[in-house]
Amino acid sequence: MAKIAFIGLGHMGGGMAPNLAKAGHEVRAFDLSEEALAHAVERGCKRAGSAAEACKDADAVVTMLPAGKHVAEVYRSQVFGAAPASAILIDCSTIDVATARAVEAEAEAKGYVMVDAPVSGGIAAAEGGTLTFMVGGSQDGFERAREFLEKMGKAVIHAGDPGAGQAAKICNNMLLGASMAATCETFVLAQKLGLDPKVFFDISSKASGQCWSMTSYCPVPGVGPETPADREYEGGFAAALMLKDLKLAMEAAQSAGAYTPMGGEAEELFQRFVDLGGGNKDFSALIKMIDDSWDS
Ligand code: NAD
């Protein structure tokens, strides 16, 4: 049984931390929100009074925080120095590549082994222990982190050097955002040209336009397998989080000097959708904005 500090018990961390406790580990949990912390304690985690207290004598530290600034702040002010140098440090948050690399370099300079391990899969996968982890860091860091990540996920993949997990995550989600936007506008056009969406789905899902956004996550209700579109676009992957990931991708593209016009267009579309009040809806609800029957 290992002692694990788990910091950040929101929508994702609140599902992940209890899976480590269920696997027999001692999970010392901390969150600034009393409600989130109490929920984790009810589900088998131990209450810590601060992130630094959770890290004392820990074998592993796992963080699941909103953005880069929270990750940098928590590691610099709470984790470094409080956790023993023998602890493996695992950041599962989705953050910008530059901050991930900077914090990992600081960790290394202080004698820690740290990895970035962002996830694919939403709240249900966090609860069910079926996340996919994309890990950036040394081979040794990957092997040490894997033992813990396997208790929270169905796949743990070594993406490469520090920051490579974040790079894989934002590249994947840039493709997802652009392919969903293209799927939405394609179905709107097909319908305006008089095609039945179900018939068009049957054709295109077996033709060269096929993509995951269409066949597994169709934005049109009643078409293809059941998706958030069949539940008024509730649940699923919030448009605001897609926008966050597209912004991270655009920042990364700018610093790497990559030309990403489709990613940029997707970012603008999701920004408009969020500005219209769609941020809490599943990201496939973008079709409601593209279709001129959208009235909010
Ligand atoms: P969330 O806002 O629900 O949870 C974040 C938690 O961190 C909150 O409970 C907050 O109180 C806590 N927190 C913030 N600063 C803290 C600090 N200094 N010390 C301790 N706790 C602190 O966010 P979430 O939906 O759980 O997402 C977490 C990360 O996972 C994000 O980076 C997000 O992009 C990523 N992600 C989310 C999803 C999803 O579907 N929600 C899917 C994949 C990846």
Count of domains in the chain? 2
* Cβ of residue 63 lying under 6 Å from some atom of ligand 1: no
Per-residue pLDDT band at 293 (split at 50, 70, 90): low
Give the position, in ligand 1's atom list, of the atom nearest the Cα of 245: 34
Pairing of strands 60-63, 3-7: parallel
- The residue out of 101, 132, 161 marking a domain boundary is 161
**Average pLDDT of the chain to the nearest whole number:** 96
The packing angle between helices 97-109 and 164-192, to 10°, is: 170
* pLDDT recorded at residue 296: 38
pTM equals 0.93
Say yes or no to pLDDT of 292 above 50: yes
Q: CATH code at 264?
A: 1.10.1040.10
Average pLDDT over residues 35-64: 98
* pLDDT recorded at residue 287: 98
**Residue to mutate, 9, 32, 133, ligand 1, most ligand atoms under 8 Å from C-beta:** 32
Tell whether 242 is covered by a domain: yes
* Cβ of residue 247 lying under 6 Å from some atom of ligand 1: no
Give the position, in ligand 1's atom list, of the atom nearest the Cα of 67: 32
Tell whether 295 is covered by a domain: no
Annotated catalytic residue, options 169, 244, 281, 288 = 169
Say yes or no to pLDDT of 294 above 60: no
User: Residue 244 catalytic?
Assistant: no
Q: CATH code at 135?
A: 3.40.50.720
Query: Rounded to 5 degrees, what angle do the CA atoms 16, 71, 130 make?
Result: 20
Same domain, yes or no, for 90 and 63?
yes
> For residue 246, what are the domain limits?
167-290
Q: How far, in Å, CA of 219 to CA of 214, rounded? A: 7
Q: Whose CA is nearest to atom 15 of ligand 1?
A: 70
Give the position, in ligand 1's atom list, of the atom nearest the Cα of 241: 34
Same domain, yes or no, for 89 and 175?
no
* pLDDT recorded at residue 235: 84
Say yes or no to pLDDT of 295 above 60: no
- The residue out of 143, 161, 179 marking a domain boundary is 161
* Cβ of residue 52 lying under 6 Å from some atom of ligand 1: no
Say yes or no to pLDDT of 101 above 70: yes
Say yes or no to pLDDT of 209 above 70: yes
Give me 181's structure tokens.
């936007």
Tell whether 21 is covered by a domain: yes
First to last CA, the chain: 52
| Ligand 1 geometric centre to CA of 39 (Å) | 15
Q: How far, in Å, CA of 84 to CA of 87, rounded? A: 6
* pLDDT recorded at residue 113: 98
Same domain, yes or no, for 147 and 201?
no
Percentage of residues in the chain having pLDDT higher than 90: 96
* pLDDT recorded at residue 126: 97
